[in-house]
A and B are shown apart, each in its own frame.
Chain A
Amino acid sequence: AQKVTQAQTEISVVEKEDVTLDCVYETRDTTYYLFWYKQPPSGELVFLIRRNSFDEQNEISGRYSWNFQKSTSSFNFTITASQVVDSAVYFCALGAQKLVFGQGTRLTINP
């Protein structure tokens, strides 16, 4: 069975701080995809990144970066120099078409 664990239920930091959201997954598949989605208060899911299991290169997109480590089955997400607009619930997910979501981490950036 596939499983995604986001151990951090809530995180609160002051603006401009760096923050890392943890994601640990379990799967028996050799080929799989990992995702991060942002869910602002309005409710829609905003796609952030997709990573396939064969690509362990870290990725950086502006203030966002992702660290994928198959050895520890982790796919952590770091926001550098956080901003108030980053406040949202962030979900890590595993799968291809049918996704298994983690419990989500509610991130609050305080001014």
Chain B
Amino acid sequence: GAVVSQHPSRVICKSGTSVKIECRSLDFQATTMFWYRQFPKKSLMLMATSNEGSKATYEQGVEKDKFLINHASLTLSTLTVTSAHPEDSSFYICSARDPRTGYTGELFFGEGSRLTVL
């Protein structure tokens, strides 16, 4: 079945550095991908909608300059956390739907990427 994969699964970085997380759809083309953030023992919050070939759509309260999203191809979306700080430490999860299944198809989630900023 369709699979969405994220890389890296875990990343530790120093405060002030930038970190890139990749989300790939492995056997389907996704014109739209979604990025969620999950704080420890909390729910998932939608951060932004990644659109292939155009700008991402950010949810209210999400800093566009802090969380850069690029959807350069139909199988890859990237989330870059710029100038990361300890409060950016979180679990980031992407999702995508196989367009061949239509609007009602199953939404697949990546394995998640755990970011720890020291």
Contact = CB atoms under 8 A, between A and B. Distances in A.
Q: Do A and B come from one complex?
A: yes
Contacts of B108: 47
Given A98-B46, A102-B43, A43 B112 contact: yes
Interface stretch (B18-26, B67-75, B99-107): B99-107
A101 B44 contact: yes
B49 A98 contact: yes
Contacts of A91: 43-44
Interface size class of B (residues with CB under 8 A): 20 to 34
A96 B103 contact: yes
Interface in B75-118: 91, 93, 95, 97, 103-104, 106-112, 114
Given A43-B91, A45-B93, A97 B111 contact: no
A99 interface: yes
B43 A97 contact: no
Contact of B106 (A47, A52, A100, A104): A47
A33 B106 CA distance: 11
Contacts of A104: 42-43
5 contacts: A44-B109, A44-B112, A97-B34, A100-B46, A104-B43
Interface of B: 32, 34, 41-46, 49, 91, 93, 95, 97, 103-104, 106-112, 114
A-B interface, 6 closest residue pairs, ranked by CB to CB distance from nearest: A45-B109, A43-B112, A44-B111, A101-B44, A101-B43, A103-B43
Interface of A: 33, 35, 37, 42-45, 47, 50, 52, 91, 96-104, 106
